[in-house]
Structure formats: structure tokens, C-alpha cells
Amino acid sequence: MEERKGRRLVLFPLPLQGHVNPMLQLANILHSKGFSITIIHTTFNSPDPSKYPHFTFHFIQENLTETESSTKDILSLLSLLNIKCVAPFQDCLSTLLSDSLEEPISCLISDAIFHFTQAVSNTLNLPRIVLRTGGASSFLVFSAFPFLKEKGYLPFQESQLEEPVVEFPPLKVKDLPVINTSQPESLYELVFKMVSETKASSGLIWNTFEDLEKSAIAILRDEFDVPVFPIGPFHKFSPASSSSLTQDESCIAWLDKQEPKSVLYVSFGSLASIKESKFLEIAYGLANSKQPFLWVIRPGLVSGKEWVEQLPNGFIEDLNGRGHIVKWAPQLQVLAHFAIGAFWTHSGWNSTLESICEGVPMICMPCFTDQKVNARYVSEVWRIGLQLENGFDRGKIEKTIKRLMVEKEGEEVRNRILGLKEKANLCFSQNGSSSQSLDRLVSHILSFESFIFKTQ
């Protein structure tokens, strides 16, 4: 009879780009520590396995219709995935566990939003560790949703928007991480399950670092009776990236011709959708600022439009080369470029971390959920950017760009973010906080009693 030690991990990412990328980065980090990696993924939004030859991929059929798989109603999509993935995921995981020819499995690591995976893990007696791809500060607010409802902050009224949430300074009611939906109860249920099943897990991994979110991490350690591992920023250790959009490398050659720290990089992520009127104000604000800009206009960014056909006639010609527009950009490369002076962002967590790691100050225009909390922290807690709020017109946009890129205020913001960049770089050094957290995570995984199969 032979017993074999399990160093195989099964990872299950949520199939949205902002969630797949950190999970693949985490997979690379754990692979570098000697674990073999198996990825279970939906056929919806699946990454290209040929880019990750060192991982084993298994695809499950979640059978979403074309309407159901639309990211326009993100809440409905997330709720459906938690229903439709249950049976195929459980079947796939059971098959993997019973394969005696493969190395035994130590644990499952799944996205926090895939809350159903906790019950599946319990059924199969397999430890589950949660990856939360957002920040710790916003997760604290999610975990307080029942309290915020009880206090009358949620669901919020238009008249309350500017009022402070006194228990979560400096947040205002409008910063609470919700989605505009006709079914707020569905959102509360999804968030409640995400939090409660995270508390029931065997550990919690964060793509953040101690020096950035020290107080939030301390509260989480106190309130969640599970080990907490802040081991970010992941991309500093492993810059894996999966995108269904083709990156336009032409923007790097254009950036090479610009002056140092002169260009405003504008990108609102892979999901955001804006109205045409807002899009036009952005266009005129950029043009009137007289600052060079690189603008990512993703197909479908403007509701009901293909690409840039709604830009005013002659807009691009009038810029005389001062602006460059692409459908998608290699963001890590762009933010690290000497010509980039600021980043106008939707304040997604990955973009926020990437900007901090390159010392690039931000203009924040959050769209929904945790982006709103991130933006408030960027502008008022860490003070490494400015938030566009209380009106959205070309004059305000122009003024905000100049405040950050030309005036003294921008210099102070830049100095603060350069200090944070230094701290982010140190956290993966030998005695850095993320390195130590990663060592603890590896020991924690190795402490699980692996699924050991006896072979004759």
C-alpha cells in the first residue's frame, strides 16, 4: 500500500476579467511554491489554456443563454452563475478527487462571489480557501450590509446621498458598494451569502498589502474567525493577464514620443458602460485640458454604440496627434511607461493597485459596487488621487485634469503615491509583509490532511 502527499490545488475563478486575472496570478504564485495547479472554469469567458501550459484546465458547461450571459445586468449574471454552476462544478470536482492516478488535492481555492462552492466543499470534505479579488476596506462594508440596512442607510434615498456614513468614515451614503438595480434584495442576498460562506471557509486570501489596508485587515482578522492572508499586489509577483479583447500595442510607440509624465491614461475597465452625453463631456474635457492623452474606448463602452462613431466630426483631427485612442491597451506596460503622468480610472481594485505600484496618481470615476469605496479611499484616506463628483461637465473635467497634472496639488499627490509605491515594492522582499503572509499561506495549505488515495 502506498500513500501519496497532496500538493495539488484546484482553483475556480469567477469568469469576469477583473476576477480571472488575479486568480491566474495567484495560481502562478502558488505554482512557484511547488504546488501543481488545476483550474476549473466555466465555458463562458474562458481563458486560453495554451497560455498556461503549466496548469491543467477543466471546463464545465454552465449553459447560460445569450441573454443570461450579458454583463449588462451583472447582478442577474452573478446570481445565475451561483445556481447554474452547482451541478457541473460538483461533478467535475468529484471526478478530480476520485482520480487515483493524479496527485491528491490539498484544497479548493474559489472566488468569494462563488459562495455555493462552500457547500460543495463541505459535501466532499475538502477544505475551501476564499480569494477575494477586491480590497479589504470595501469587504468590511459588504460585511456590514445587514447593519447598514438596519440603520436606514440602505436602500439609500436620493436625498441621503451626500450624508456621511458615520460608522465608516470618510464614506458618504453614495459611496456604499451597491449596484443600481430594481432588485436590491437580490444584491443583499448575494452579498450576505458571499460574506457568510467566506466566514465558513478555511482561510481568506487578499490581493492587498498590510501598509495599504492595515486597519481593515486588522478588523477582518478580529471579526472573521478564519486565517487571513494579504499577499498582494499579485501582479508584482506574477503579471499574468487574460483578456478577451486584443491589446493594441501601437499605443506604446505613441507613448515613446511623448514627454515624461505628460500623458493622461484614460481607461474605465472591462465592464463599465456610460451614456453618450457623459462620453461627449469626457471627450471635450480631454481636448480642452490641452494635455496629451491615451484613451481606451472599449467596444460597447457607450451604451448602444459600436465604438467611436459618436465622437464629434473632426474631433480626432483637431487634436493634431495630442490624443491616441485604442480599443484596449496593455495596461501594466502603459502605467509603467515614463510618459504617463496620471490615470483616469473606474477605480476597479486591480487598476487601483496597478496605479499605486507604478506611482501614478489617479482621477477616480467609479461606476458601481466596491469601485465607489476604492475611489473614496484613493481621494480621502490615502490622498493619492482626485475624485470626479458632484457634477460631470467638460469644465470640471478640464479643471480636475489640470489640478492633478499641472498644479502644485498634483505634485503633493504624486509624492504621496510614490511613497506608497515604495512600500508596495518592499512587501515582496525577504522580510516583507506579503512574503511572510505567503509563507504562512503555504504552511496553512500543507497542514490540511490531503485527500490521500491508497493504490494497490
| Exposed / middle / buried, residue 180 (Cβ in 10 Å: 0-12, 13-18, 19+) | exposed
CA distance 391 to 111: 35
pLDDT of residue 3: 39
Per the structure block, which three cell numbers stand in for 78?
452573478
CA Rg, the chain, in Å?
22
In this predicted model, what pLDDT tens digit does every residue of 320-347 receive, in sequence order?
A: 999 999 999 999 999 999 999 999 999 9
CA distance 41 to 76: 19
Q: Rounded mean pLDDT of 335-364?
A: 98
User: Which one, of 68, 72, 77, lies nearest residue 15 by Cα?
Assistant: 77
Confidence of residue 210 (pLDDT cuts 50, 70, 90): very high
Q: Rounded mean pLDDT of 302-317?
A: 83
Number of helices and strands in the chain (H, E): 18, 13
Domain limits, CATH 3.40.50.2000, in the chain: 8-241+429-447, 249-424
Residue 35 near residue 443, CB atoms below 8 Å: no
**Is residue 172 scored above 70 in pLDDT?**
yes
Helix, strand or coil for residue 43?
Answer: coil
- Does domain 249-424 fall under CATH 3.40.50.2000? My reply is yes
Class of domain 8-241+429-447: alpha beta
CA distance 23 to 35: 15
Q: Rounded mean pLDDT of 292-312?
A: 87
Check residues 248 and 115 and name the one with the higher pLDDT: 115
| % of the chain beyond a pLDDT of 70 | 96
Q: Rounded mean pLDDT of 414-434?
A: 96
DSSP H helices in 257-388: 276-289, 315-318, 331-335, 349-357, 370-376
User: Which one, of 264, 403, 398, lies nearest residue 324 by Cα?
Assistant: 264
pLDDT of residue 240: 67
pLDDT of residue 455: 36
In this predicted model, what pLDDT tens digit does every residue of 428-454 receive, in sequence order?
A: 998 999 999 999 999 999 999 765 443
* Buried/exposed code over 323-360 (b: 16+ C-beta within 10 A; e: otherwise): bbbbebbbbbebbebebbbbbbbbbbbbbbbbbbbbbb
Per the structure block, which three cell numbers stand in for 59?
471546463
Q: Is the dihedral of CA 177, 183, 188, 193 positive or negative?
A: negative
Q: Rounded mean pLDDT of 92-118?
A: 94
Number of other residues whose CB lies within 10 A of the CB of residue 249: 11
In this predicted model, what pLDDT tens digit does every residue of 215-250 receive, in sequence order?
A: 999 999 999 999 999 999 999 988 766 676 788 999
φ/ψ region of 232 (left if φ > 0, alpha if ψ in -120 to 50, else beta) reads beta
CA distance 379 to 305: 31
CA distance 135 to 147: 20
Residue 292 near residue 262, CB atoms below 8 Å: yes
Q: Rounded mean pLDDT of 91-118?
A: 94
In this predicted model, what pLDDT tens digit does every residue of 71-102 receive, in sequence order?
A: 778 999 999 999 999 999 999 999 999 987 88
Q: Give the H or E element holding residue 129.
A: strand 128-132
The structure's pTM equals 0.95
Average pLDDT value for the chain? 93
* Amino acid identity for residue 235 in this structure: H
Confidence of residue 456 (pLDDT cuts 50, 70, 90): very low
Per the structure block, which three cell numbers stand in for 376?
473614496
pLDDT of residue 238: 81
Q: Rounded mean pLDDT of 110-139?
A: 98
**Is residue 122 scored above 60 in pLDDT?**
yes
CA distance 103 to 6: 6
Residue 247 DSSP code:
P
**What is the residue whose three cell numbers read 500543507?**
446
pLDDT of residue 4: 41
| Exposed / middle / buried, residue 11 (Cβ in 10 Å: 0-12, 13-18, 19+) | buried
In this predicted model, what pLDDT tens digit does every residue of 144-158 receive, in sequence order?
A: 999 999 999 999 888
Residue 445 near residue 129, CB atoms below 8 Å: yes
Q: Which whole-number Å values give the CA distances from 30 to 23, 36, 438, in the listed order?
A: 10, 8, 9
Number of other residues whose CB lies within 10 A of the CB of residue 53: 7
